[in-house]
Structure 1
Amino acid sequence: MAEVATSARSSGTSSALSDPLLVVVDPVARRVDGESVRIAKDVLRAGAAHTKVCLPDSPEEFARMLGRRGSRRPVVVGDDRALLRAVGLLHRWRELAGCGLSLVPVGPAQELSRSLGVPSGAVAAARAVLEGAERRLDLLVDDSDGVVLGAVGIPPAPGAAQEAAGADDDASVRPWLRTCQSLVRTLAHPRPARSGPATGPGPARLRVEVDGVTLVDLDQPVAGVSLIPGGPGLAEVEVRPLSVGAEASPLTARGRTVTVSGAHFRYRADAVESGPVGTRTWTVRESAWGLTLPAR
């Protein structure tokens, strides 16, 4: 059962934040770094006029509490996977445009949050929640309604499988963690039915189209493909052709829609590995979501 606590700052203390907060603490964060969680809660309670702290024990409780936020601004205390879960839920509820998020990174996966500009460390991140400003960011949405906040890599970066295996080992003795991981993968990129063998980490033959224009076709083996939201409203695409002898120069393009097709391939979107798929299209949604970041 979730434990819910509320707090109110005394009127004698000034606050840079007027809107009430809903602080949702990811259960993985509580398990791996309870001290940072405690510090984050203390800083947020001291700095905000009205703070409600929720301690969900399952993904279902996480979703239920986020869905009942009312007028409170949600603050996620957790790692990249917790942020992805929150963004994925709000996107599927079609509430992402009107709900700004804040994050205090706590947990093992923080590469994405750092790339987005969220401060590391519980104190600095909590102060940014209180004193920062919402920044609207672009979002990649794929044709299965999955969301990407950072980068897509094809094939997945080396080590992705090992990381997933390590997480599964942990989940084998913590059934609730396996459920959590399954929900994150589903929210980010629902796994399609397996219809063919997956390509390995080596060269692949893929067709990459940017806004309907072919950047590379199936007759040219590629070593890798990557795309990121490049703003404003555009994705930056890089294709690394397989070189023979001298290193081949990357092919780059920018556009709103990117389609990759060909032999069944796996890809890594943010912290989640997905596939195999025969085709996948990503579309940029400009300024689709808001994240509180330190004021410039």
Structure 2
Amino acid sequence: MATSDQLLVVIDPVARRTEGESVRIAKDVLSAGATTKVCLPADPEEFARALARRGSRRPVLIGDDRALVRTVSLLHRRRELAECVLSVVPVGGLLSVAGSLGVPTGTVAAARAVLDGVERRLDLLVDESDGVVLGALRIPPAEPDAPQERSLDPAAHPWLRTCQTLVRTLAPSRPARAAVTGGPARLRVEVDGVTLVDLDQPVEAVRVVPGRSGTATVEVHPASVGAAAAPLLTTGRTVSVSGADFHYRADAAVSGPVRRRTWTVWAGAWGLTVPQQE
């Protein structure tokens, strides 16, 4: 690909702490194919400084979806995103966003794509406060992707059953989720200034996905009694949602409550390295 073969490899602290073997494999593959400078930031401030001092080196992130969104957000706020081709080796428990954008979720395949892949220009959803959406926006928030964890069998480990019981007894009860994931909501959804659904029609869910054509796909599921109502589908450049306090999930993070939010598509706002098509 027509970009610098000098790489700035920035390793997310969470990935380094929890996925050490995958991080080591990624570094070995990248170092074998390019000149690399490896940065091990300990906190968000060091992470930001490492990116700011990248010079002509091509930034490569090793981390999960949250680290990817944080990196894109940082470059966007500095207005450096358009000129920067970002590469990522997904490592961790949350990898669905990277996968949906065309990045391999296997460590070796992703590292090879960094070395041999091509740039794909992608649209970005941006709200009034410069918050970004890479993969999908959901209202109300969907359940987060849970990292895969190895489970232990209580029958094989009697001590585990005792510990689990003790934890359940001592741990405070979880707060009610109704405020975040409650039932049908009354929202006004406007696309390019045209009302798609108004406050008099309760909705079960709203989903907005940026694409690569300068518009976002908007899908609204009206609440129904009995037979399921057909979803309302459209595309547009600006999407405004307003109504009672609502939460929303943008990629891997839940935000809110807010009473109004507008997202605008920034066409071809960023470049991501993906594998070459066969």
TM-score normalised over the length of structure 2: 0.85
Secondary structure at the counterpart of residue 237 of structure 1: strand
CA distance in 2, matches of 1:212, 1:230: 20
* TM-aligned CA deviation for residue 230 of structure 1: 3.0
Residue number among 236, 246, 260 corresponding to 1:265 in the alignment: 246
Residue number among 32, 38, 42 corresponding to 2:28 in the alignment: 42
In structure 2, the gaps of 5 or more residues are 147-177
Secondary structure at the counterpart of residue 219 of structure 1: coil
CA distance in 1, matches of 2:199, 2:248: 17
CA distance in 2, matches of 1:200, 1:126: 37
Contact kept? 2:4, 2:58, Cα under 8 Å: no
CA distance in 2, matches of 1:269, 1:38: 30
Matching of residue 68 in structure 1 with residue 53 in structure 2: yes
* TM-aligned CA deviation for residue 201 of structure 1: 2.1
1:155-170 equivalences under 5 Å are: 155-157=140-142, 159-160=143-144
1:194-273 equivalences under 5 Å are: 198=179, 200-273=181-254
Q: Which amino acid aligns with 1:146?
A: G
The runs of at least 4 aligned residues of structure 1 exceeding 3 Å deviation read: 15-18, 197-200
Contact kept? 1:136, 1:291, Cα under 8 Å: yes
Matching of residue 282 in structure 1 with residue 263 in structure 2: yes
Secondary structure at the counterpart of residue 26 of structure 2: helix
Contact kept? 2:220, 2:233, Cα under 8 Å: yes
Residue number among 96, 115, 122 corresponding to 1:130 in the alignment: 115
* TM-aligned CA deviation for residue 245 of structure 1: 1.5
CA distance in 2, matches of 1:148, 1:132: 23
* TM-aligned CA deviation for residue 199 of structure 1: 6.1
Residue number among 79, 90, 96 corresponding to 2:75 in the alignment: 90
* TM-aligned CA deviation for residue 143 of structure 1: 1.2
* TM-aligned CA deviation for residue 53 of structure 1: 0.5
Provide, for residues 109-159 of structure 1, a one-character-per-residue CA deviation record: whole Å limited to 9, x for no partner: 1011111111122111100000001110000001111000010000001x3
Q: Which amino acid aligns with 2:12?
A: D
* TM-aligned CA deviation for residue 198 of structure 1: 4.9
* Structure index of larger Rg: 2
CA-atom RMSD in angstroms: 1.9
- Structure 1 pair 200–127 and aligned structure 2 pair: CA distance change class (3 A): closer
Q: Which amino acid aligns with 1:96?
A: L
Give aligned pairs, total: 247
Q: Which amino acid aligns with 2:57?
A: R
CA distance in 2, matches of 1:63, 1:18: 20
Provide, for residues 230-249 of structure 1, a one-character-per-residue CA deviation record: whole Å limited to 9, x for no partner: 33000100110001121110
CA distance in 2, matches of 1:287, 1:27: 29
Q: Which amino acid aligns with 1:35?
A: E
TM-score normalised over the length of structure 1: 0.80
Contact kept? 2:240, 2:260, Cα under 8 Å: yes
In structure 1, the gaps of 5 or more residues are 1-14, 164-196
Residue equivalent to 1:79? 64
Q: Which amino acid aligns with 2:67?
A: A
Contact kept? 1:199, 1:263, Cα under 8 Å: no
Residue equivalent to 1:101? 86
Identity %: 71
Q: Which amino acid aligns with 1:99?
A: C
CA distance in 2, matches of 1:253, 1:17: 36
Residue equivalent to 2:168? none
